[in-house]
């Protein structure tokens, strides 16, 4: 599958951008070097006639991306939240990728509902609207349940979407493999692992049963968060290619003028959406990893409504603590501590200099403080950060890809609502609270209590495990030594002591 035939796919990709007149606009918006522009044109223009035609009513870049398929659309959705990277004009054009793509017919959607749920759509729903939103993977219809009369959202996968994604990801794997072979220095970025991670995320998004489960889990985690609501799935009306959720009524978060006209405080909304993301990532280790404008609404009472839970991120507790310490170090401008955390976590090799790394991090962080976000070029900041990671040999950490990507997207959403937002100032109270609750003495006692509980469960097996270990160490001796009783006495006493400590800590905490 991942052979040279993908070269044809890549040629058609470049040709599509040339044919739609998107190449020039995209490279100019991202301030690409003149040599790169010339090279891109030189390779692609002879093959322009091979490019996909696309929808001529759409702007050039949007036309090219939609013609190329869902994986490219996903990338365009990310860029649509970063006007500081691609420019305001291009970001506005790309926002149609979030939920305004060409829909497929309602008759097809009803047929899929019948196939997946085992009953005709007209029996399950007394009303079934035309598509109200259409994105890269699925589209949504408003409906009214026949049994309760309740208004719901019916999400239906696009026909043939699995095959389309497989084709695109196959081409991405080919590119990643070629990059690793032709550029050994790029291997630290682990491009193949990055694509593998992307594939696992996308394949999970193509099973709406998993999305329903994610919505249920996310709703349970966040039910106590003020000003935030998560529509819940209706399980008996959900299957692999069809999912039914509570209806979420509100204004699109991307419509800043509409929100202002409705009396909403867009500055407060921008700060709130950023703090919510950080809270979910740090507190729960489970966060919405596709928080672009198209997946967020604002209810009449000001609540933020999130939906589309096909991509969710998870990070373990240790990684959350590392991430929080790094963020707090930047917030406090303690670059030495940020550098030390990177070394302690193994993100940077021990043979590198902590002092040099701290100095490089200072050059990344200092431009942020005391400035309006509108005057900071995130593109240049990311480019310099990339240079720093290359210089110190940091490898891409696939478990953090979703976290890092979503941080970029959420900051873009927040900035669209509050252009002068400073993410570090807004993040400070959330990160500080997490560190206070999870890195202080109380957290240490809580960790000790968990350790005691685990040891207590395995306590009865510890003597046998120790015996087996001692037996392996003494083999192949002909006559085994007489076993000593003191290791077991100490082990038993220690286990009893730990259990007692656990009981005491349970009372205290």
Confidence class of residue 30 from pLDDT cuts 50, 70 and 90? low
DSSP collapsed to 3 states, 40-72: HHHHHHHHHHHCCCCCCCCCHHHHHHHHHCHHH
Residues belonging to the active site: 290
Question: Which residues, 6 or more positions from 456, have their beta carbon under 8 angstroms from its beta carbon?
Answer: 495, 498, 499, 502
Please give the distance of CA 11 from its chain centroid, rounded to a whole number. 29
Structure tokens at 87: 């420019």
* Rounded distance between C-alpha atoms, residue 450 and residue 327, angstroms: 26
The pLDDT, as a whole number, for residue 212 is: 95
Burial class of residue 397 in the structure, from the number of CB atoms within 10 Å of its CB (0-12 exposed, 13-18 middle, 19+ buried): middle
Q: Which range, of 24-33, 317-326, 499-508, averages the lowest pLDDT? A: 499-508
The answer to whether residues 18 and 59 touch, using CB atoms and an 8 Å cutoff, is no
What phi, psi does 313 have (nearest 5°)?
A: -110, 145
Which residues are paired to 228 by β-bridges? 304
Vertex 211: Cα angle to 173 and 105 (nearest 5): 85
Structure tokens at 201: 């995320």
Residues of the chain with pLDDT > 70, as a percent, come to 72
* Rounded distance between C-alpha atoms, residue 338 and residue 343, angstroms: 9
Question: Which residues, 6 or more positions from 363, have their beta carbon under 8 angstroms from its beta carbon?
Answer: 384, 388
Question: Which residues, 6 or more positions from 273, have their beta carbon under 8 angstroms from its beta carbon?
Answer: 253, 291, 296, 304, 410, 413, 414, 417
**Section 235-257 average pLDDT:** 93
Average pLDDT, rounded, for the chain: 78
**Section 409-416 average pLDDT:** 86
Structure tokens at 135: 């994105």
- Edge-to-edge strand ranges of the sheet holding 251-252: 228-229, 304-306, 296-298, 251-252
- Residue 493 φ/ψ region, left for φ over 0, alpha for ψ in the -120 to 50 degree band, beta for the rest: alpha
Vertex 96: Cα angle to 38 and 426 (nearest 5): 90
Question: Which residues, 6 or more positions from 59, have their beta carbon under 8 angstroms from its beta carbon?
Answer: 93
What phi, psi does 100 have (nearest 5°)?
A: -125, 35
The model's pLDDT over 427-467, given as tens digits with 9 standing for 90+, comes to 888 888 888 888 766 666 666 666 666 666 666 766 777 77
Confidence class of residue 407 from pLDDT cuts 50, 70 and 90? confident
The model's pLDDT over 307-350, given as tens digits with 9 standing for 90+, comes to 889 888 888 888 888 888 887 887 788 989 988 988 888 888 88
Confidence class of residue 387 from pLDDT cuts 50, 70 and 90? low
- Residue 105 φ/ψ region, left for φ over 0, alpha for ψ in the -120 to 50 degree band, beta for the rest: beta
Give how far Cα 335 sits from Cα of 325, 353, 354, 380, 404, Å. 11, 13, 10, 20, 19
Q: Peptide bond preceding 476: is omega within 30 degrees of 0, i.e. cis?
A: yes
Pick from 315, 324, 326: nearest CA to 394: 326
Provide the 8-state DSSP code for 131: E
| C-alpha gyration radius of the chain | 27
The answer to whether residues 99 and 133 touch, using CB atoms and an 8 Å cutoff, is yes
The model's pLDDT over 134-187, given as tens digits with 9 standing for 90+, comes to 877 889 999 999 999 999 999 999 888 888 787 778 777 877 777 677 767 666
- Edge-to-edge strand ranges of the sheet holding 151-157: 125-134, 138-145, 151-157, 242-246
Give how far Cα 257 sits from Cα of 37, 249, 260, 264, Å. 36, 18, 5, 10
The answer to whether residues 396 and 193 touch, using CB atoms and an 8 Å cutoff, is yes
């Amino acid at each position: 599958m991942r052979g040279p035939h993908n070269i044809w796919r890549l040629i058609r990709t470049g040709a599509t951008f040339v044919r739609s007149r998107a190449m020039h606009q995209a490279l100019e918006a991202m301030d690409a070097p003149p040599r790169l522009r010339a090279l891109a044109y030189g390779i692609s223009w002879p093959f322009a006639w091979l490019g996909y035609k696309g929808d001529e009513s759409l702007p050039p870049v949007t036309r090219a991306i939609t013609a190329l398929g869902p994986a490219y659309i996903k990338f365009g959705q990310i860029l649509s939240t970063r006007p500081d990277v691609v420019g305001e004009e291009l970001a506005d054009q790309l926002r149609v990728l979030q939920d305004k793509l060409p829909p497929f017919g309602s008759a097809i959607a009803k047929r899929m509902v019948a196939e997946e749920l085992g009953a005709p759509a007209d029996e399950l729903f007394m009303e079934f609207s035309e598509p109200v939103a259409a994105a890269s993977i699925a589209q949504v219809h408003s409906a009214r349940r026949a049994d309760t009369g309740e208004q719901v959202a019916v999400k239906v996968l696009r026909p043939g979407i699995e095959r389309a994604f497989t084709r695109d990801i196959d081409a991405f794997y080919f590119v990643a493999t070629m990059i690793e072979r032709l550029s050994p220095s790029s291997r630290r970025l682990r491009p193949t692992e990055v694509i593998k991670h992307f594939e696992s995320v996308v394949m999970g998004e193509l099973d709406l049963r998993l999305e329903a489960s994610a919505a249920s889990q996310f709703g349970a985690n966040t039910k106590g968060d003020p000003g935030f609501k998560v529509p819940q799935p209706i399980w008996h009306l959900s299957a692999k290619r069809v999912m039914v959720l509570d209806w979420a009524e509100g204004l699109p978060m991307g419509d800043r003028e509409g929100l202002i006209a409705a009396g909403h405080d867009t500055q407060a909304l921008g700060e709130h959406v950023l703090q919510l993301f950080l809270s979910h990532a740090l507190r729960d280790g489970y966060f919405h990893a596709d928080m672009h404008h198209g997946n967020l609404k604002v209810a009449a009472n000001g609540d933020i409504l999130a939906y589309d839970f096909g991509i969710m991120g998870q990070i373990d507790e240790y990684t959350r603590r590392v991430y929080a310490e790094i963020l707090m170090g930047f917030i406090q401008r303690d670059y030495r501590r940020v550098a030390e955390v990177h070394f302690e976590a193994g993100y940077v090799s021990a043979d590198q200099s902590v002092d040099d790394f701290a100095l490089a991090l200072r050059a990344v962080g200092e431009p942020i403080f005391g400035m309006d976000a509108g005057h900071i070029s995130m593109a240049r900041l990311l480019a310099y950060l990339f240079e720093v990671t290359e210089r110190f040999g940091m490898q891409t950490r696939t478990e953090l890809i979703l976290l890092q990507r979503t941080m970029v997207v959420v900051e873009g959403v927040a900035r669209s609502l509050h252009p002068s937002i400073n993410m570090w100032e807004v993040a400070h109270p959330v990160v500080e609270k997490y560190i206070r609750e999870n890195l202080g003495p109380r957290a240490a006692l809580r960790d000790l209590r968990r350790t005691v509980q685990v040891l207590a469960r395995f306590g009865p097996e510890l003597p046998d495990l120790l015996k087996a270990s001692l037996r392996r160490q003494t083999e192949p001796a002909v006559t085994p030594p007489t076993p000593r009783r003191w290791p077991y006495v100490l082990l038993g006493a220690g286990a009893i002591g730990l259990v007692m400590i656990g009981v005491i800590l349970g009372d205290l905490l």
